Structure formats: C-alpha cells, structure tokens
Amino acid sequence: MSLRGEACVVTGAAGFLGQRLVRLLLEEEQAAEIRLLDRRVRPQLLEALEDVRGDTQLSVFEGDIRDGEFLRKSCRGASIVFHVASIIDVKDAVEYGEIHGVNVKGTQLLLEACVQENVASFIYTSTIEVMGPNARGEPVVNGDEDTAYECALKFAYSKTKKEAERRTLQAHGELLRNGGRLATCALRPMYIYGEGCRFLLGHMADGVRNKDVLLRMSRPEARVNPVYVGNVAAAHLQAARGLQDPHKRNAIGGKFYFVSDDTPLVSYSDFNHAVMAPLGFRVQERLMYPLWLLYSFCFLMEVLCGALRPLVRVVPPLSRQLVTMLNTPFSFSYQRARRDLGYAPRYTWEEARRRTTEWLASELPAERQRIRAK
C-alpha cells in the first residue's frame, strides 16, 4: 500500500528521528500533505526539505502536545499519525509531572484527537527501555516480542513510555466518529544512532576533554544492538503501509514490534569507539571504576539528592539504573517486524557507520573550539 494522496501528521517532526521520517516520506511517498507538529520548527528545516518536497504540501503546526484543541486542529482531515514526540530522559533530570504530561497525557490527548477527527491509523514510537533492563540486570540476548521479562522499571522515562505504549495499543479498534475504526501499533527501536544523535555528541565531547580517549562506562561483554536512524524511519513507513492495507490492518494492529538492524552486537562504549575511531579517538580498556564502586557511589548520591529534594532538586550525574542499563547484555531481533511489516534495513552497518562518522567529523572542529573556550 502507498500513502499517495494522504495527509500525514508527524509529531516531534523537528527532532532527531522526526526529521529523518519526514524526509523519507517525501522521498518515497506522494502524500498530499505532511504536517510537521512540534513546539518549534525552524525555517531551515523546511528549506532543507525543499529538494525532495515535490508536490507535497508541508504544513507547520507549532504548539504544545498537551493542548487538546491544538491536536484536534492538527489532525483534522488527516488519515495517519506518526507519534514520535516525547521527552527523553535517562538521568531523571525532568520533573515527573512534566515528563508524564508530555509522554502520557500528550499521547492520550492525541489518541482522542484521532478518534474525534476520524484519523484511521496511529503509529507510536516507543523504546527498548519499556522492556528494561530491570534493576537486577538480567540479560536478554536476541529476544523477541514473546520474550518473558520482569521489567520493574525505575526511570520515569521508561515508565511513561510504557504507559503511553499501553494506551496506544489499547486504543486499537476504537470507534471513530465517522463509524470507522482506529488502527494502532507501536515500534520499539533499540538505541538509535546516526546523524544528529545528541548522545553521540556528548560522548565525543567527553572524549575531547579526556585528550581524545573515550570514557568506558560499559563492560565489553554487555552487548546491545543499536539501530541506525534511517532504518528506524523505514520501519515507521512500513508500519504505516501495513495499517493502510485492509488485508494487514487487523493482523498488525494492537501489536508492538522491536526495531533493530544488522549493526553488530557491541557494548555502548565500544560502539562509541567504533564510530569515532576513524576520527582519532581511543577508548579506555577498562571501566573507569569497578562496578561495585560505581553502584556504591550512585547509591550515596541518590540518598543525598533525596534528602535535599524538599529544598532543592539536584540531579546526580549517574544513577544505579543507568549503570545497570549500560552494563547489561540486552539485544532483540527484528524478524517479526520483517515478517509482519515487511521491514528490512535500508542501510548496512558499513554505510550507517560511515554516515555517522562523517557527521561527527563535521561537528568535531566546533566541539574542540567550544571546549577550548571554556
């Protein structure tokens, strides 16, 4: 199925994944309109898309995803919503009310807007972190959608994304005002990398400050499978085509799918080295500190910050949950997405690494200058 002639809404359209998804929709589909919904959409983004826009109308909707009337206006006359927007926070730096308001309430209001405005299809961008790893660091190697795992999530980010995903899947089959039915599905990408990834920029900056030696926060054996942003965008497009197909709609509706690719299994720290080694970076051979010492330090910091919380909010630089996430083998297969959605990675590991490294190389001079200026 094609999205030709349809009106599509992309929330978080100015973000890392959102921009890539909009460009892919323009390159491969002849949608009548793509609506870029975000708090702010820079004019430079629209200019950068002009070369692939064709006859598709690009419409900008700037506003708050917690505003129901704004969402209804954004969805009016649309047939499909890609809900990419969320607050990403792996340090618990954001107040719970704020992250819940955007990630959960915003998703609920958007689902309600779809029902009220007769939007037929809804794709939610979830995350591997709704699965874990749990606080005990129990590993998963090449898991799938049937893998049983006790989550016991601690991050507010993980909890709110899990709740938003649950509400999305529960909404599958809801009656629209025009008598039709809403079809929903959720995608759970692994850690997403590629051009524009702010986490990679942060790791590179730490390496520059450490005389071009990347910090090791992950044991080499704690292997995960990161996924390239271009492949995640492709999975969204395949999910949209599936939900638009009457023969597949009910088969994939109400389900979640893991999204990975052929990036080799590797620890987070060794992955950083893999994409930055061509730029002259090395990586520490061993963890900065033994794991028991890191956990002890994090525990003390959490107790201290908790005691100060009534007076001032202090965010520790590291938490036990983050240390666990970085040091737990946790990988998942994309074979069910291949089978049900027809998803296949568009970019090989070699091409994804080359593109990512070239982007980092373009950012490196400014990063060095910024750090020297401090």
Which positions are annotated as active-site residues? 157
- Written as six digits, the tokens of 194 are 């590629």
For 294-303, the CB contacts below 8 A with 24+ separation are 294/318, 294/323, 295/320, 295/323, 298/322, 298/323
Q: Which residue has the tokens 């919904």?
A: 37
- Written as six digits, the tokens of 92 are 């618990």
Residue 87 CA from chain centroid, whole number:
10
* Rounded Cα distance, 103 and 116, in Å: 20
φ, ψ (nearest 5 deg) of residue 149: -155, 130
Decide: helix, strand or coil at residue 22. Answer: helix
Cβ proximity of 169 and 126 under 8 Å: no
* Rounded Cα distance, 60 and 40, in Å: 9
Handedness of CA 267, 272, 274, 277 (dihedral sign): negative
Largest CA distance in the chain: 63
Burial of 234 (0-12, 13-18, 19+ CB in 10 A): buried
Cβ proximity of 263 and 352 under 8 Å: yes
Residue 7 pairs in a beta bridge with: 33
* Rounded Cα distance, 65 and 67, in Å: 5
HSE of 126 in the Cβ direction (CA atoms, 13 Å)? 30
